């Protein structure tokens, strides 16, 4: 943070330093007063002393006093009575010496003033550069607004308030006050009326402006490209108008702050557009998966029921039961798909977010495995969780649905009798879920015609509803696409990631991560 206060020149050491040159000149004059040619040395000593006092104090008044004191010293050490006949002969040289001392004092003082002004301008330029850099690196409206308030409060040593929206919106301003009583005054109904006026007209108002309105504060609008991005209020107990230099510096800060807020707004709008595009893409993938994965079981139900109705007299009992089992299996599969769709609908109804509550990791995994075992009693599932007791922020019902979808895919589509593995690891600030089978694995892609080498696998598309199993027909892989699309939707809503691939021992390997921090919600 930048410090705006400039150290003052005061204190006993400073007073001593301002007297020391003159005292030194008197000492030199006293020592050499008896020398016949000492008048040049004495006069030069007092002239230099006057210049030194001006240089040390930065005050022309003190330099002038030192010059007069030097003149008196020269008269004294030259032992010239004011009424003697020889005094007029020396009066003119003494007057010239006094004028020289005054001119030198004036020049020294002028140079000190110019140097101070230059340093102040340079310091302000450096501060503006630092403010601009910090605003440029700030992320989010709260961070930008807090920087603005801290800078202005420290610069003017005053209480400040910032309104990002007009008072009529009901959103209170953000206050940084130097005294408890200032907050009540700055949030009064009359002050809010002035703030609303500034928002409506995009003009400054309050103390020191054309529209004071008996306000106790000065209000400055943050305007960029003819859009107002907020109003900054300044309250000083003396209620004096801001000086021109202060106002120019404030306008520079406010201009940079307005551009920073506008840039943040545009960034958030762009991010929102990107999120909407991703959600639209996800909806399109989901609809494609639904149309693909629901058509197959519906076709099977219609075909089996039609056969039963039209050929029931010629069907054997075994054929009759087989058709009924097909209808039963396809109906259960449709029910499972409806449960998945309801999971996605639940996320949509909650505004594309999930409310996460810290849940015991072991209990969630155990519940998912129990539900899978009810559907597939003969399935062998090897489970491993960390020895550490972990509370993971999640929507337990949705994460169980993901575990069920991935594990069920491994059981049904791996074409292997080997156990399916479900294990969880903790890595830094997240937990990683692994579902691994030892079956035929995922489709690795096609062979490159030019090199004869296989293409690098691209398994991301399987979460968009595409088939991913080797040599699998459409009928035998029903439901896989929609299930994985829903898995990705749920994990993304939790702020995690999901991946797929083949492991070196053969078979598919799915992983997804959940962050350990944050019990609120993540947007899709």
SS (H, E, C) 278-315: HHHHHHHHHHHHHHHHHHHHHHHHHHHHHHHHHHCCCC
Angle at 228 between CA 232 and CA 225, to 5 degrees: 130
Angle at 511 between CA 358 and CA 295, to 5 degrees: 100
What lies within 8 Å, CB to CB, of 204 at 6+ separation is: 198, 218, 219, 220, 221
CB 295 within 8 A of CB 333: no
Neighbours of 128 (CB within 10 A): 17
Structure tokens given for 268: 């958030």
Lookup result for tokens 């140097």: 115
Q: Is it true that 139-242 and 275-515 share their CATH fold?
A: no
| Ordered strands of the 159-163 beta sheet | 174-176, 159-163, 227-235, 218-224, 205-206
Q: How far is CA 78 from CA 35, 51, 86, 91, in A?
A: 11, 22, 11, 12
Task: Domain 139-242: give its CATH code.
Answer: 3.30.450.40
pTM: 0.47
3-state DSSP percent of the chain in helix, strand and coil, to 5: 60, 15, 30
Radius of gyration of the chain (CA): 42
Residues in the chain: 524
d(CA 258, CA 251): 10
DSSP string, 37-55: THHHHHHHHHHHHHHHHHH
Please give the pLDDT value at position 416.
84
Instruction: Pick the closest to residue 54 from 89, 119, 100, 122 (CA basis).
Output: 100
Which 8-state DSSP code applies to residue 448? P
Q: Count CA within 13 A, CB hemisphere, residue 377.
A: 0
Instruction: Pick the closest to residue 148 from 262, 268, 250, 267 (CA basis).
Output: 250
Burial state string for 17-44 with b = 16 or more CB within 10 A and e = fewer than 16? ebbebbeebbebbeeeeeeeebbeebbe
Please give the pLDDT value at position 100.
65
Residue 88 burial class via C-beta count within 10 angstroms: exposed 0-12, middle 13-18, buried 19 and up: exposed
Instruction: Pick the closest to residue 369 from 333, 339, 399 (CA basis).
Output: 399
Neighbours of 487 (CB within 10 A): 26
Which 8-state DSSP code applies to residue 397? H
Please give the pLDDT value at position 7.
39
Please give the pLDDT value at position 142.
85
pLDDT along the chain (524 residues), means of 10: 41 65 73 63 70 65 67 61 51 62 69 78 76 78 86 87 91 87 88 92 89 87 89 86 82 85 87 81 69 76 90 87 87 76 63 76 93 86 92 88 89 87 92 93 49 46 57 45 76 89 88 77 39
SS (H, E, C) 105-134: HHHHHHHHHHHHHHHHHHHHHHHHHHHHHH
Please give the pLDDT value at position 8.
42
As assigned by CATH, the class of the 275-515 domain is alpha beta
Domain ranges of the chain: 12-134, 139-242, 275-515
């Amino acid at each position: 943070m930048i410090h705006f206060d400039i150290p003052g020149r005061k204190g006993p050491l400073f007073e001593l330093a301002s007297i020391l040159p003159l005292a030194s000149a008197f000492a030199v004059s006293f020592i050499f007063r008896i020398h016949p040619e000492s008048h040049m040395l004495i006069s030069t000593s007092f002239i230099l002393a006057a210049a030194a006092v001006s240089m040390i104090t930065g005050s022309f008044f003190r330099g002038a006093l030192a010059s007069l004191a030097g003149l008196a010293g020269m008269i004294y050490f030259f032992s010239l009575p004011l009424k003697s006949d020889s005094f007029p002969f020396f009066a003119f040289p003494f007057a010239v010496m006094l004028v020289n001392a005054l001119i030198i004092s004036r020049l020294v003082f002028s140079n000190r003033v110019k140097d101070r002004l230059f340093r102040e301008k340079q310091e302000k330029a450096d501060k503006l550069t630092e403010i601009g850099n910090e605003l440029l690196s700030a992320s989010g409206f709260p961070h930008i607004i807090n920087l603005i308030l801290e800078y202005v409060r420290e610069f003017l040593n005053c209480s400040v308030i910032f309104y990002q929206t007009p008072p009529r919106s009901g959103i209170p301003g953000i206050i940084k006050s130097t005294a408890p009583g200032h907050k009540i005054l700055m949030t009064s109904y009359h002050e809010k009326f002035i703030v609303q006026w500034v928002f409506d007209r995009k003009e400054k108002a309050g103390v020191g402006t054309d529209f004071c309105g008996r306000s106790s504060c000065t209000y400055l609008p943050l305007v960029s490209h003819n859009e107002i991005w907020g109003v900054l209020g300044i309250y000083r107990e003396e209620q004096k108008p801001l000086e021109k230099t202060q106002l120019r510096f404030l306008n520079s800060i406010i201009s940079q702050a307005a551009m920073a807020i506008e840039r943040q707004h545009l960034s958030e709008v762009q991010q929102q557009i990107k999120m909407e595009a991703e959600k639209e893409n996800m909806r399109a993938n989901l609809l494609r998966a639904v149309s693909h994965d629901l058509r197959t079981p519906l076709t099977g139900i219609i075909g089996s029921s039609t056969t039963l109705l039209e050929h029931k007299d010629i069907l054997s009992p075994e054929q009759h039961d087989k058709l009924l089992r097909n209808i039963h299996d396809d109906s259960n599969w449709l029910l499972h798909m409806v449960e998945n769709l309801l999971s996605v609908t639940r996320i949509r109804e909650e505004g594309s977010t999930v409310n996460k509550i810290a849940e015991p990791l072991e209990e969630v995994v155990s519940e998912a495995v129990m539900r899978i075992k009810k559907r597939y009693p003969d399935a062998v599932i090897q489970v491993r969780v960390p020895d550490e007791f972990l509370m993971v922020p999640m929507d337990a019902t949705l994460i169980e649905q993901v575990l069920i979808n991935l594990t069920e895919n491994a059981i049904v589509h791996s074409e292997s009798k080997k156990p399916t593995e479900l294990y969880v690891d903790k890595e830094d600030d997240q937990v990683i879920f692994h579902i691994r089978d030892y079956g035929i694995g995922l489709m690795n892609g096609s062979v490159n015609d030019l090199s004869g080498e296989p293409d690098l696998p691209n398994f991301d598309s399987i979460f968009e509803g595409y088939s991913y199993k080797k040599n699998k027909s459409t009928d035998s892989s029903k439901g896989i696409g929609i299930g994985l699309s829903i898995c990705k939707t749920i994990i993304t809503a939790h702020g995690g990631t999901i991946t797929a691939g083949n492991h070196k021992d053969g078979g598919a390997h799915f992983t997804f991560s959940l962050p350990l921090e944050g019990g609120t919600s993540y947007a899709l």
